[in-house]
């Protein structure tokens, strides 16, 4: 099967080795006999709902966010339509903030967001930096831990009733207070975690591949298990660092 990924603004939002997430998805798809076709999507590209099975948007500084916010906003309606029709999303850090309603920077200037995630973000004085450990339950009854690294000044506030990606076991998360991290809308996930995220959390890479394939075929596939020994070690190192850092 050919899985088509739309990588939004890769030239601007790409800090913290976010591209590593794409490399992991491509390898894990290939090991199951699937091809991952990654298309860069920028200001001049047309975004046609239904064409992409997964959208990916990485992290960036305020400066880059400012540069692309208007062009990303222009794709907003198409993105929301695509997700409502079952496309998957992974949005990291700066990209996560811009898929919310707005991001207010330190000068009080507001960048309008895409409005895909029911949340908004306000820049704070102190940066929240360090290893993070979450507990997630993306499928009912299947609890998993997610380990990553956060580095953000923005505080993200979820709307009442919005679904977070996970519960913070160690680290700051969305705002350093709520005990939640990230956001989920259907097959769309937003998070502050990078590192990059997927090499040390292969279960999440497979969840995203499963969602992308389900969008393509209309049916959830069962992916062949892989030997994730090394990935499990990477997860443990990262999780141990987060635990040593302590609770919120
Ligand atoms: N505006 C962001 C912040 O809160 C950028 C986050 C990021 O992608 N590192 O710091």
The sign of the dihedral angle between the CA atoms of 61, 64, 66, 72 is negative
Please give the model's pTM, rounded to 2 decimal places: 0.97
Residue 119 has phi, psi (to 5 degrees) of: -160, 165
Residue nearest to atom 3 of ligand 1 (CA): 152
Query: How many Å apart are CA 189 and CA 210, to the nearest integer?
Result: 14
Displacement of CA 94 from its chain's centroid (Å): 10
**Ligand 1 pocket check for 151: Cβ under 6 Å:** yes
Say how many Å lie between the CA of residue 196 and the centre of ligand 1.
Answer: 15
Say how many Å lie between the CA of residue 146 and the centre of ligand 1.
Answer: 20
Per-residue pLDDT tens over the stretch 231-246: 999 999 999 999 998 7
Per-residue pLDDT tens over the stretch 135-189: 999 999 999 999 999 999 999 999 999 999 999 999 999 999 999 999 999 999 9
Residue for token digits 């199951």?
A: 32
The sign of the dihedral angle between the CA atoms of 8, 11, 16, 21 is positive
Residue nearest to atom 10 of ligand 1 (CA): 152
Query: Which range among 8-22, 46-60, 107-121 shows the weakest confidence by mean pLDDT?
Result: 8-22
Q: What pLDDT is recorded for position 5?
A: 98
* Catalytic (active-site) positions: 93, 194
Q: What pLDDT is recorded for position 15?
A: 84
**Ligand 1 pocket check for 171: Cβ under 6 Å:** no
**Ligand 1 pocket check for 166: Cβ under 6 Å:** no
Residue 186 three-state SS: coil
Say how many Å lie between the CA of residue 217 and the centre of ligand 1.
Answer: 35
* Cα dihedral: 13, 21, 238, 127 (round 10): 10
Task: Tell me if 19 sits within 8 A of 197, measured CB to CB.
Answer: no
Q: What pLDDT is recorded for position 19?
A: 81
Q: What pLDDT is recorded for position 48?
A: 97
Q: What pLDDT is recorded for position 248?
A: 56
Q: What pLDDT is recorded for position 1?
A: 95
Q: What pLDDT is recorded for position 28?
A: 98
Q: How far is CA 166 from CA 14, 84, 93, in A?
A: 23, 21, 15
Of the pLDDT bands very low, low, confident and very high (cuts 50, 70, 90), residue 224 is: very high
Query: How many Å apart are CA 130 and CA 151, to the nearest integer?
Result: 7
**Ligand 1 pocket check for 62: Cβ under 6 Å:** yes
Task: Taking residues 195-223, report their average pLDDT.
Answer: 96
**Ligand 1 pocket check for 113: Cβ under 6 Å:** no
Query: How many Å apart are CA 92 and CA 96, to the nearest integer?
Result: 5
Task: Find the helix or strand (DSSP H, E) in which 153 lies.
Answer: strand 142-158
Angle at 214 between CA 210 and CA 217, to 5 degrees: 135
Query: How many Å apart are CA 132 and CA 110, to the nearest integer?
Result: 28
């Amino acid at each position: 099967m050919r899985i088509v990924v739309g990588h939004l603004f890769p030239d601007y939002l790409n800090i913290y080795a976010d591209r590593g997430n794409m490399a992991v998805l491509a390898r894990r798809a290939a090991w199951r006999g699937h091809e991952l076709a990654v298309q860069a999507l920028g200001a001049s590209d047309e975004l046609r709902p239904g064409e992409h099975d997964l959208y990916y948007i990485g992290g960036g500084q305020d400066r880059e966010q400012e540069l692309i916010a208007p062009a990303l906003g222009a794709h907003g309606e198409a993105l929301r339509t695509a997700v409502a029709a079952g496309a998957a999303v992974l949005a990291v850090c700066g990209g996560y903030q811009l898929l919310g309603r707005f991001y207010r920077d330190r000068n009080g200037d507001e960048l309008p967001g895409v409005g895909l995630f029911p949340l908004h973000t306000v820049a704070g004085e102190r940066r929240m930096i360090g290893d993070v450990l979450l507990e997630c339950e993306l499928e009912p009854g299947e609890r998993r831990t997610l380990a990553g690294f956060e580095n953000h000044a923005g505080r993200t506030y979820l709307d009442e009733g919005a679904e977070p990606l996970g519960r913070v076991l160690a680290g700051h998360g969305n705002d350093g207070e709520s005990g939640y991290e990230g956001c989920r809308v259907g097959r769309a996930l937003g998070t502050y975690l990078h590192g990059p995220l997927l090499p040390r959390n292969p279960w999440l890479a497979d969840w995203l591949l499963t969602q992308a394939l389900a969008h393509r075929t209309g049916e959830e596939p069962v992916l062949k298990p892989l030997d994730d020994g090394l990935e499990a070690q990477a997860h443990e190192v990262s999780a141990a660092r987060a635990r040593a850092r302590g609770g919120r």
